[in-house]
Amino acid sequence: MSLEADRVDPAAPPGPSDLPVLLERGEVVYYPACPFPLLDEADRAFLLGQELGRAAHKNISYDPGTGRAGGFARRSAEQVNRLHRLLATFSDRATQWLGQALPRYRDGWRLDRVSFRPVEEATRVARLSARNDLLHVDAFPTRPTNGWRLLRVFVNINPSDERVWVTSEPFARLLKRYGEQAGLPGRANHLGWASRLLETSLRLFRPARAARSIYDSFMLRFHHFLKRCEDLQEHGLKHVWNFPPGSAWLAMTDTVSHAVLRGRFALEHSYFVDPETLALPEESPAALLARACGRPVLRRAA
List, for residues 30-45, the tens digit of each pLDDT value.
999 999 999 999 999 9
DSSP 8-state code for residue 132 = S
pLDDT single digits (tens) 221-242: 999 999 999 999 999 999 999 9
Q: Pick left, alpha or beta for residue 186 (phi over 0 → left; psi -120 to 50 → alpha; otherwise beta).
A: left
Q: What distance in Å separates the CA atoms of residue 145 and residue 23, rounded to the nearest whole number?
A: 18
Confidence (pLDDT) at 2: 35
> What is the arithmetic mean of pLDDT over 153-161?
98
- The answer to whether the beta carbons of residues 61 and 114 sit under 8 Å apart is yes
Cβ-count burial 117-152 (b if 16+ within 10 Å, e if not): bbbebeeeeeeeeebbbbbbbbbbeeebbbbbbbbb
More confident site: 4 or 261: 261
Confidence (pLDDT) at 274: 98
**Confidence check: pLDDT of 92 > 80:** yes
- pLDDT bin (cut points 50, 70, 90) of residue 197 is low
Q: Among 55-64, 105-114, 258-267, which stretch is predicted with the lowest mean pLDDT?
A: 55-64
Total-model pTM:
0.89
CATH topology of domain 18-293: Jelly Rolls (2.60.120)
Q: What distance in Å separates the CA atoms of residue 157 and residue 116, rounded to the nearest whole number?
A: 10
> What is the arithmetic mean of pLDDT over 56-72?
94
Confidence (pLDDT) at 244: 98
- Nearest 5°: CA angle at 127, between 250 and 30? 10
**Confidence check: pLDDT of 11 > 70:** no
**Confidence check: pLDDT of 199 > 70:** no
- pLDDT bin (cut points 50, 70, 90) of residue 8 is very low
Confidence (pLDDT) at 225: 98
188 SS3 class: coil
> What is the arithmetic mean of pLDDT over 48-63?
91
Q: What distance in Å separates the CA atoms of residue 227 and residue 230, rounded to the nearest whole number?
A: 8
Phi, psi of 155 (to 5 degrees): -135, 130
**Confidence check: pLDDT of 75 > 70:** yes
> What is the arithmetic mean of pLDDT over 125-131?
91
Confidence (pLDDT) at 54: 81
178 SS3 class: helix
Distance between first and last Cα of the chain: 47
- The answer to whether the beta carbons of residues 274 and 148 sit under 8 Å apart is yes
**Confidence check: pLDDT of 169 > 50:** yes
| Mean pLDDT rounded to a whole number for the chain | 90
